[in-house]
Amino acid sequence: MRGYLITNAFMRGGSFETMRRLFMEAAEKAGITLISKTNADFIGGVRCDADFALFYDKDIRLAMRLEQKGIRVFNSADAIAVCDDKTLTHLALDKAGLPQPEYVLCPHSFPGVGFGDMSFLREAGGILGWPMVIKEGCGSFGQQVYLATDEAQAKTLLQAIGEKPVVFQRFIRECAGRDERLFVVGGEVIAAITRENRQGDFRANVENGGHPQKYEPTREECDLAVSACRALGLDFGGVDILPSRQGPLLCEVNSNAHFGGLKQVTGVNPADHIISHIRRSL
Ligand SMILES: Nc1ncnc2c1ncn2[C@@H]1O[C@H](COP(=O)(O)OP(=O)(O)O)[C@@H](O)[C@H]1O
Ligand SMILES: [Mg+2]
């Protein structure tokens, strides 16, 4: 069995290199030939010389090309696309009837056109209350997630974000700085952590100062994480859950979750599980 590991050509080093290394080591242990490529290595075209591609990148167009050549891509191009944009994730999870924080989608505009007087922000605030979470559709590591205390701040934030897909979310106050990450592979939760930001930031991402701890998720949380991955068509994924007073809510789902921190505190290596899952699936 021979496959490509595809990572991004321009995001290198740090946690990205750790992910690449963990997958290469896991494949070697399993006796699978894994060839490390970047998304820039296919400029000359895609040859049909691999059984699969382990696609740890967001280059959805390249993932589609690989699929068009008959290569099985993990996760699939469609699944990566839906997870890459939180606005689309919300819609897909809603379709499956799964619980998530109440949200309002920002109306679409065009580059350079702006959002007029942004009066829709008042309406969104009326529905969701203040402060309100604002998320760019595409973003990672908490870097494109904001908390707006009032309408004026929301306007400033939206102006700075520009005309991209954006979602407004109810701020789950009791979860500020605290969430859970469940890692799902092949329809099973293989490991979980809680993350707590003790520096006063509402974002619990490890990359943002969140402190990871091993966690034993409840049956309800496991079922929710597995259902979310099924609804999004993911072979594997990192599911962020907010343990709200009304029960677990899906915060977001990652098709390419980095798991260095999770591996360290749980002793579980998702790379081994992902490689086994690929072998089983083929
Ligand atoms: N609605 C919300 N209420 C409270 N905290 C939130 C909410 N949405 C996100 N967060 C916090 O912000 C972090 C980052 O948000 P998330 O949607 O997971 O984006 P990213 O893709 O950047 O990880 C979450 O891990 C969580 O701690
Ligand atoms: Mg997240």
Q: Encode pLDDT of 71-99 as tens digits.
A: 999 999 999 999 999 999 999 999 999 99
- 277 and 188 in a common domain: yes
Q: Is 171 in the pocket of ligand 1 (CB under 6 A)?
A: yes
CATH number, residue 130: 3.30.1490.20
Instruction: Provide the residue type at 182 as one letter.
Output: L
Q: How many domains does the chain have?
A: 3
Indicate if ligand 1 lies below 6 Å from the C-beta of 172. yes
Boundary residue ending a domain (151, 171, 191): 171
C-alpha dihedral sign at 23, 142, 74, 180: positive
pLDDT digit string, tens, across residues 238-276: 999 999 999 999 999 999 999 999 999 999 999 999 999
Same domain, residue pair 70 and 124 = no
Q: Please, which residues bridge with residue 195 across strands? A: 179, 212
Which of 102, 182, 205, 246 to mutate for ligand 1's pocket (most ligand atoms within 8 Å of CB)? Answer: 205
Q: At 147, which helix (H) or strand (E)?
A: strand 145-148
Same domain? 164 vs 194: no
Residues 182 and 237 in one domain: yes
Same-domain pairing of 65 and 143: no
CA 223 centroid distance within chain: 18
For residue 159, give its domain range: 103-171
Show which of 171, 203, 220 is a domain's final residue.
Answer: 171
Q: What's the confidence (pLDDT) of residue 49?
A: 85
Q: Which atom of ligand 1 is closest in space to residue 101's alpha carbon?
A: 1
Tokens 């922000």 locate to: 121
> Could you give the CA distance from residue 109 to residue 173 in angstroms, rounded to a whole number?
30
pLDDT of 218-231, one tens digit each?
999 999 999 999 99
Query: What is the rounded distance in angstroms from the CA atom of residue 83 to the CA atom of residue 232?
Result: 7
Token pair of 7 as six digits: 């990572």
Angstrom distances, CA of residue 211 to CA of 91, 94, 147, 264: 30, 30, 20, 12
Say whether both 90 and 66 belong to one domain.
no
C-alpha of residue 267 to centroid of ligand 1, in Å: 25
Tell the burial category of 157 from Cβ atoms under 10 Å away from its Cβ (0-12, 13-18, 19+).
middle
The tokens describing 252, both together, are 């977001």
Which residue, of 171, 195, 229, is where some domain finishes? 171
pTM as predicted: 0.96
User: What is the helix (H) or strand (E) element at residue 213, kind and residue range?
Assistant: strand 210-214
Rounded to 10 degrees, what is the CA torsion of 104, 105, 106, 107?
Answer: -120
On whether both 17 and 151 belong to a single domain, the answer is no
